[in-house]
């Protein structure tokens, strides 16, 4: 697991860039540009601050005590000196994990700039707030502050500040996945740095551009930007700048499947960082080295670098990196067969993500945990991890769905108000016409009949338009009702519609027999796409959406029009077949497995195929005298699905019935379906996918 996230995300890249380079190199140069002549006292203070900027660029813990000594003197200095001190003081605190204190200094600097009516001070205050809220996981606030900082920086004469704010603005767009404006802003930052011929600022901009190209998967352009940055950095003889560029080379090499190049770059970066005691950067390099050796199955080095990372991270209060290192160490121990020790370390790291409330990252860590446990043979632990991830996935999916409904409702209300305004305008037009008619009646009596006729025509036309508007409103209401019961991406029914249907659905204990005398039953099928996250990570979310649409289309083709097909969660689908011969349930599962695997999606020159895992059962299920409620039946099918996941994927596990039920209970079966199956209390059937041996296995 890489530093900063479950993968090398824009978040991790941004933190590496902003701290060492942007707060030091560019801002140091800003001190020498179009500033007013400082007092002699301010000049001496500026010299000390410039020295501390060089120290704090990579070792903020060393610079912070001296900054505290200068605080009283700097707060009494002139506008420019005080502004730069508050900004540098806040970033030093942020670099050692004092996020709230750093945010408070950003607030103070912005308020000071407003009082002085100084765009430069306000822009720096907003940048400080953007960096702090970013580390506090308040991304929406961080992006808003960055964009406003860029607007104010462009009104100032501080060119390096304009470059820095343009980079922050571009990174904010990139974090939202909005790459066209992100690239435009980043290229603008490079262009400004070139025009003013400043190598330090240009290195910063080129390094940021290389990282953005990595996010966009345009790796050749990323390497081109990085090569130019390396040539400029070599002239400066700065170990810190070269270390930062080596870290970027590691990102690009890892993304282009060049592990040895990435490892060499990371080791070189660590050596340079240790020369200058760059504490926070050392932590990131150690964590990433631990992850790199983990991928090579070199578990002893994984543990060694992981322990070094924990020790270094604790010195700077970086709990996120401690957690990441713990997860890497846990995976290494599990790879060595030391399962208990590995789980203890992984759970210790996982605890940080749970406490940080960063649910998207927590979801990724849980998926990784389940996969590691599955490889280690702890299938029960893997199922529990997958269940935790699935619950979190459903929660996030429900929030996204609710947001979409709110947006749709808001649009509907806006359209409704617009129609009301149009109707009022027409009513006013009618009233105006009536007044004109009265005047005409008073002046010209012989035009009365004609005016009356015209008025009647106008009223008739308006009446028809009102009726048309009401008819359109009724159609819109029907559309809104339809949209509230359908998933917007796949056009399948959503979970809420299925729940409402099942609450009113009359279960029939015996559905009768078909023409051949065979028993007719209902059936539930729950499908989950195997390795769906890998599709999103490799090809992007647009490819993932195409996969979801393909699954929906195949379900419509394989099943009947009378069957209810539901998008149950993020990558889960539910099918309820109200009437089917009992012997045909397993055949339906086989057709679903084979039919979906046979489909290929062509996306940007790639051929994508996916498998699914399935849990299924006839419905209703009757373990005793009374049938199970539909909610418990779906839960049982979900447990069968996770058995299919844990036992190899691309297969279907079906609950056919129960045996010896007097010796157990439904609660015990739901606690551990696999144990109940192996104890003979549950009768399962197994259907293998197309890349397995054909046929269904009876499981007793």
Active site residues: 571
- Report the DSSP pairing between strands 601-603 and 493-494: unpaired
Residue 410 phi, psi dihedral angles, 5° rounding: -65, -40
Question: How far apart are alpha carbons 339 and 362 in whole angstroms?
Answer: 21
Question: How far apart are alpha carbons 384 and 355 in whole angstroms?
Answer: 19
Residue 673 near residue 640, CB atoms below 8 Å: yes
Nearest to 376 by CA among 428, 348, 340, 416: 340
**Rounded CA Rg of the chain:** 33
Question: How far apart are alpha carbons 94 and 104 in whole angstroms?
Answer: 11
Write the CB contacts of 331 (distance below 8 Å, at least 6 apart in sequence): 1, 294, 302, 342, 346, 372
Residue 624 near residue 657, CB atoms below 8 Å: no
For every residue of 250-319, DSSP letters joined together read HHHHHHTT-HHHHHHHHHHHHHHHHHTT-HHHHHHHHHHHHHHHHHTT-HHHHHHHHHHHHHHHHHTT-H
Nearest to 160 by CA among 53, 277, 59, 279: 53
- Report the DSSP pairing between strands 520-529 and 493-494: unpaired
Residue 504: count of CB within 10 angstroms of its CB? 6
- Report the DSSP pairing between strands 612-619 and 651-658: parallel
Whose structure tokens read 């359109």?
Answer: 472
Residue 668: count of CB within 10 angstroms of its CB? 14
Sign of the Cα torsion 614, 615, 618, 620 reads negative
Residue 186 near residue 153, CB atoms below 8 Å: no
């Amino acid at each position: 697991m890489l530093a900063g996230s479950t993968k090398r995300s824009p978040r991790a890249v941004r933190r590496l860039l902003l701290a060492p380079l942007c707060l030091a190199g560019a801002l140091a140069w800003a001190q020498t540009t179009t500033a007013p002549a400082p007092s002699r006292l301010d000049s001496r203070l500026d010299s000390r601050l410039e020295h501390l900027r060089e120290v704090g660029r990579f070792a903020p813990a060393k610079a912070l005590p001296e900054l505290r000594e200068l605080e009283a003197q700097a707060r009494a200095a002139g506008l420019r000196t005080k502004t730069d001190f508050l900004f540098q003081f806040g970033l030093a605190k942020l670099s050692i994990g004092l996020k709230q204190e750093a945010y408070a200094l950003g607030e103070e600097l912005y308020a000071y700039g407003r009082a002085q009516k100084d765009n430069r001070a306000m822009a720096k205050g907003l940048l400080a707030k953007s960096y702090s809220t970013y580390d506090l996981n308040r991304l929406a606030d961080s992006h808003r502050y960055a964009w406003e900082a860029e607007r104010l920086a462009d009104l100032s004469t501080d060119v390096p500040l304009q470059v820095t704010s343009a980079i922050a603005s571009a990174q904010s767009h990139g974090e939202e996945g909005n790459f066209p404006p992100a690239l435009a802003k980043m290229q603008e930052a490079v262009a400004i740095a070139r025009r003013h011929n400043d190598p330090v600022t240009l290195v910063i901009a080129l390094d940021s551009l290389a990282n953005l190209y990595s996010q966009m998967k345009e790796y050749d352009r990323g390497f081109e930007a990085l090569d130019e940055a390396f040539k400029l950095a070599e002239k400066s003889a700065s170990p810190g700048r070269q270390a930062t560029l080596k870290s970027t080379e590691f990102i690009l090499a890892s993304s282009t499947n060049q592990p040895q190049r990435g490892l060499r770059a990371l080791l070189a970066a660590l050596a340079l960082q240790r020369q200058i005691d760059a504490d926070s950067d050392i932590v990131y390099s150690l964590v990433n080295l631990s992850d790199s050796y983990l991928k090579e199955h070199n578990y002893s080095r994984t543990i060694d670098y992981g322990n070094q990372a924990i020790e270094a991270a604790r010195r700077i209060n970086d709990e996120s990196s401690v957690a990441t290192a713990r997860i890497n160490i846990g995976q290494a121990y599990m790879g060595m067969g030391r399962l208990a020790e590995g789980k203890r370390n992984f759970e210790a790291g996982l605890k940080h993500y749970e406490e940080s409330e960063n649910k998207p990252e927590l979801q990724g860590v849980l998926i990784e945990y389940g996969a590691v446990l599955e490889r280690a043979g702890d299938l029960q632990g893997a199922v529990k991890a997958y269940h935790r991830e699935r619950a979190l996935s459903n929660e996030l999916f429900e929030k996204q769905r609710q947001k979409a409904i709110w947006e749709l409702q808001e649009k509907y209300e806006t359209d409704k108000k617009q129609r009301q305004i149009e109707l009022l305008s027409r009513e006013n037009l009618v009233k105006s016409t009536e007044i004109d008619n009265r005047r005409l009646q008073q002046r010209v009596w012989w035009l009365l009949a004609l005016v009356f006729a015209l008025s009647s025509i106008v009223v008739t036309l308006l009446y028809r338009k009102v009726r048309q508007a009401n008819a359109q409103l009724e159609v819109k209401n029907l559309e809104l009702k339809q949209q509230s019961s359908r998933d917007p991406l796949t056009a399948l029914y959503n979970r809420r519609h299925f729940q409402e249907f099942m609450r009113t659905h009359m279960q029939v204990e015996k559905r009768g027999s078909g023409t051949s005398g065979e028993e007719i039953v209902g059936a539930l099928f729950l499908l989950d796409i195997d390795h769906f996250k890998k599709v999103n990570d490799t090809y992007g979310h647009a490819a993932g959406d195409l996969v979801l649409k393909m699954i929906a289309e195949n379900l419509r083709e394989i099943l009947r029009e009378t069957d209810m097909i539901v998008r149950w969660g993020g990558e889960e689908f539910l099918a309820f077949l109200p009437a089917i011969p009992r012997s045909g349930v397993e055949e339906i599962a086989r057709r679903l497995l084979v039919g979906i695997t046979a489909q290929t999606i062509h996306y940007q020159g790639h051929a994508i195929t996916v498998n699914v895992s399935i849990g299924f059962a006839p419905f209703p299920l009757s373990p005793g005298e009374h049938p199970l409620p539909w909610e418990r039946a779906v839960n049982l099918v979900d447990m069968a699905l996770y058995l299919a996941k844990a036992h190899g994927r691309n297969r279907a596990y079906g609950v056919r019935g129960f045996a010896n039920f007097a010796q157990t209970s439904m609660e015990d079966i739901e606690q551990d379906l696999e144990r109940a199956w192996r104890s003979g209390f549950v009768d399962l059937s197994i259907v293998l996918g197309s890349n397995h041996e054909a046929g269904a296995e009876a499981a007793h």
